[in-house]
Amino acid sequence: RRWRSRLTAGDMSNKFSGTPRTPKVPNSERNLKKSTSPKKRLGPGDFEFGDLLGEGSYAKVFLATSKTTKKKYAAKIVDKAHVIKHKKVEAVMQEKKTLSICKHPSIVHLHCAFQDEHSFYFVLEFVPGGELFELIQRMGKLPKPVARFYGAEIINVLEYLHGKGILHRDLKPENLLLAEDRHLKLTDFGTAGVIHMSQSMKLSGMREKAMSCVGTAEYVSPEVLDGKKQTAACDLWSAACLIYQMITGKPPFRGASEYLIFQQILSAKFDFPADMPLDAKDLITKMLVVDPGKRLSIPEIKAHPFFSAIDWKNLVTSPAPTWKEPQQPTLNVSSQILPVSGAGTPPSGNKSPKGESKESNSNNTTQEGTPWQQFLIRNERVVFTGLIQKRSFSGVGFFSKTRQLILTSFPRILYVDPKEMTLRGEIPWSDNIVAEIKNRKNFVLHTKGKQYNICCLSHQADAWIEAFKKLKKQFAER
């Protein structure tokens, strides 16, 4: 029967909690195994929960440490009331079952799952290297050998999943994590679907059902948008978008709105930059085909010249390529936050503020010659600025837009398209504005009843938090 909001706590407990199940073993083989005492069922009390690593619409991920082994994990904690209210219980159960049957070096491992009165818990392998998304943003674009290796790892893990009858359905750089050895790990199976029932699926209790339209705008395939049957080709379309983005720094389909993005996808309308490698161009062109039946299959992709240097048989044990990280400017928060003399009042004599060196006047917070001057009004000054991703949840997924965030002396919070050099909007300032740090690269602004999720690209999140605190304090003391 289908899981519905009327499921009792006992029903959910029996189906959700426990360590991942393994397929049943025939009696003849089971008798050969030595009997062992049953494992202790784990719960929230067995872990210490630390820093917030990330959050979504109904779940948060915390760093968790086992109290017995001291091993670190990523604990995804799902709000039970939310998923029941929005009839997402079946999706949570499906995610747990999918993770339980997927055993692959390129998939984040599920250590255990349990629940309490308020939450479902997924205790997952902790992958410390951050998202592929963050790497692309830091680098601008990836060197071809790196993009080729990671493209191969994506195709390799899709081959494994499709062989088990599973579609991921939300491939994007935010769902690919970098392990300590720089290999990729695929995560977030909350929207995974079934294309055919394997034996392991039947043993785990998974069910085949109609698949709805899910995914993230820039990576979703045309047939998903058209409501047509979803096959393995859906994931391969997304993989092509990822290969394009790794090489160029941007996804192939971009637009000012979801509607415009979808129109480009439905007609496969995209361009290549002039420096696009020819073999990569040929591969992507043959993968981003509107008709899923005419897209390259996985064997054809693996045989393509773009991947000629890949040792597919030993890929997961091959050393991952290295890269040179771009130089990051040394950030001194105290010297980059300019004192505020009062809204609309320029500092007298144009002297450097007390304690601020001449060197700090040459960085991006100065007013003379700054490219951001055109967005300021008379006597307004830039207090702090940096490149960010403004993130938001929308109807079909998670969206990010690169913007230059500018904190000014009035105060105002502007966000500018740094390529088009156009003002895209303003986050309202209020006396009750709160800047809340989430982790090293992410913070949230709470103001006038709204929440703005910010991912920092050029600075650390704590630098922004310090800037907002100082500016708010200066205005409170006026």
CATH superfamily of 132-317: Transferase(Phosphotransferase) domain 1 (1.10.510.10)
Question: What are 247-262's pLDDT values in tens digits?
Answer: 999 999 988 777 888 9
Binding-site residue ranges for ATP: 76
Average pLDDT over residues 292-320: 98
Residue 264 has pLDDT above 50, yes or no: yes
What is the percentage of the chain residues whose pLDDT exceeds 70?
76
**Looking at residue 196, what is its pLDDT?**
62
When pLDDT is cut at 50, 70 and 90, the band that residue 29 belongs to is very low
Domain covering 9-18+43-125, topology: Phosphorylase Kinase; domain 1 (3.30.200)
Question: What are 49-77's pLDDT values in tens digits?
Answer: 998 887 777 888 899 999 999 999 999 99
Domain chopping of the chain, boundaries: 9-18+43-125, 132-317, 333-476
Residue 210 has pLDDT above 80, yes or no: no
- For 111-161, the DSSP string reads EEEEE-SSEEEEEEE--TT-BHHHHHHHHSS--HHHHHHHHHHHHHHHHHH
Instruction: Compute CA distances 22 → 100, 114, 201, 202, 460, whole Å.
Output: 8, 17, 11, 12, 42
Binding-site residue ranges: 76
When pLDDT is cut at 50, 70 and 90, the band that residue 110 belongs to is very high
Average pLDDT over residues 298-309: 98
Fold match, 132-317 / 333-476: no
Average pLDDT over residues 140-162: 97
Range in 88-92, 112-116, 124-128, 368-372 with the lowest mean pLDDT: 368-372
Residue 30 has pLDDT above 50, yes or no: no
Please provide the CATH number assigned to the domain covering 333-476.
2.30.29.30
Question: What are 282-303's pLDDT values in tens digits?
Answer: 999 999 999 999 999 999 999 9
**Looking at residue 75, what is its pLDDT?**
95
Residue 182 has pLDDT above 60, yes or no: yes
Active-site residue list: 170
Residue 193 has pLDDT above 70, yes or no: yes
Range in 10-24, 80-94, 281-295 with the lowest mean pLDDT: 10-24
